[in-house]
Amino acid sequence: MKLKKVFQRKETKYLIAKEQFPAFLAELQQRMAIDEYGQHTIMSLYYDTHDYRFIRHSMDKPKYKEKFRVRSYGIPTEQQLIFLEIKKKVNGVVYKRRVPMPYADYCGWLQTGVLPSMAEAPQIAAEIHWLFKQNPDLLPKVLIAYDRLSLFIDDDSEFRVTFDQNIRFRTYDLMFGSGSEGALVAPEIGVLMEVKALGAYPLWFVELLNKYSVRKGSFSKYAQTYQRHLFKKEEWLHVI
């Protein structure tokens, strides 16, 4: 199967109480199917500068923002593919561009500082090289992991719904091979639902949201991690 490297869509987030989630999911499955991976763990390693310039800029809600992360689906073996991703948001539309790479090659990059060849996606590779050239102090800063369930409609690949639970983070031992353990980012939240679509929602989905009184929420995993767990620590480090 050909790996998709470029995504363009709007992403809207909703918070669902854990008690409400089973019934909501059961009704959703009457219209949508769980993808082939079932519930799986995603690990996203966010790169940033020493003073967290990227996430601080993002939290100012500019019309244009970008972030760089490396993503793994589960704990990778040496030859398993992980993904280098540039994610941009322009006027509310998310553009994600990614290039796959064997985990062993990524580990080699960390050791040598030399990005391996990404010949199958030269344009995306050039964007990644340019990003690091413009921001030479970009470093792995925070690993965020969560357990995801994804649903799709057969005849509409652009409309997807994902559910993330147990969102956790760590700022130490940032290798994927060390597992997905970490402290909960926001223990009080239930399930984070993300709706990924370019056009309007199907009418039946709008009716389902209304039935369960599900309303939009603002929850960025990296921003919440920074605000709740890293901001005060960073402020203290600047003082000493």
pLDDT tens digits for range 163-193: 999 999 999 999 999 999 999 999 999 999 9
| Domain extent at residue 131 | 8-228
pLDDT per position as a tens digit, 18-35 = 999 999 999 999 999 999
Q: What's the rounded mean pLDDT across residues 11-21?
A: 94
In a domain, 235, yes or no: no
pTM of the shown model:
0.90
pLDDT at residue 78, as a whole number: 92
In a domain, 1, yes or no: no
pLDDT per position as a tens digit, 192-216 = 999 998 888 999 999 999 999 999 9
pLDDT at residue 199, as a whole number: 83
In a domain, 240, yes or no: no
Residue 216 backbone dihedrals phi, psi, to 5 degrees: -60, 145
Report whether pLDDT(134) > 70: yes
Q: What is the 3-state secondary structure (H, E, C) of the chain?
A: CCCCCEEEEEEEEEEECCCCHHHHHHHHCCCCEECCCCCEEEEEEEEECCCCHHHHHHHCCCCEEEEEEEEEECCCCCCCEEEEEEEEEECCEEEEEEEEEEHHHHHHHHHHCCCCCCCCCHHHHHHHHHHHHHCCCCEEEEEEEEEEEEEEECCEEEEEEEEEEEEEEECCCCCHHHCCCCEECCCCCCEEEEEEECCCCCHHHHHHHHHCCCCECCCCHHHHHHHHHHHHHHHHHHHC
Q: Average pLDDT over the chain, rounded to whole?
A: 89
CA–CA gap between residue 144 and residue 167 (Å, rounded): 7
Report whether pLDDT(232) > 70: no
Report whether pLDDT(10) > 90: no
Higher pLDDT, 239 or 163: 163
Q: What's the rounded mean pLDDT across residues 127-144?
A: 93
Number of domains in the chain: 1
For residues 52, 58, 63, 66, the Cα torsion angle rounded to the nearest 10 degrees is: 70
pLDDT at residue 233, as a whole number: 58
Instruction: Decide: 199 and 9 in contact? Cβ < 8 Å.
Output: no
Report whether pLDDT(1) > 60: no
Task: Give the residue from 77, 89, 7, 85 showing the smallest Cα distance to 46.
Answer: 85
pLDDT at residue 116, as a whole number: 74
User: What percent of the chain shows pLDDT beyond 70?
Assistant: 92
Report whether pLDDT(88) > 60: yes
In a domain, 239, yes or no: no
In a domain, 99, yes or no: yes
In a domain, 197, yes or no: yes
Higher pLDDT, 164 or 117: 164
In a domain, 86, yes or no: yes
Higher pLDDT, 236 or 219: 219
Q: What is the CATH number of the domain that holds 36?
A: 3.20.100.30
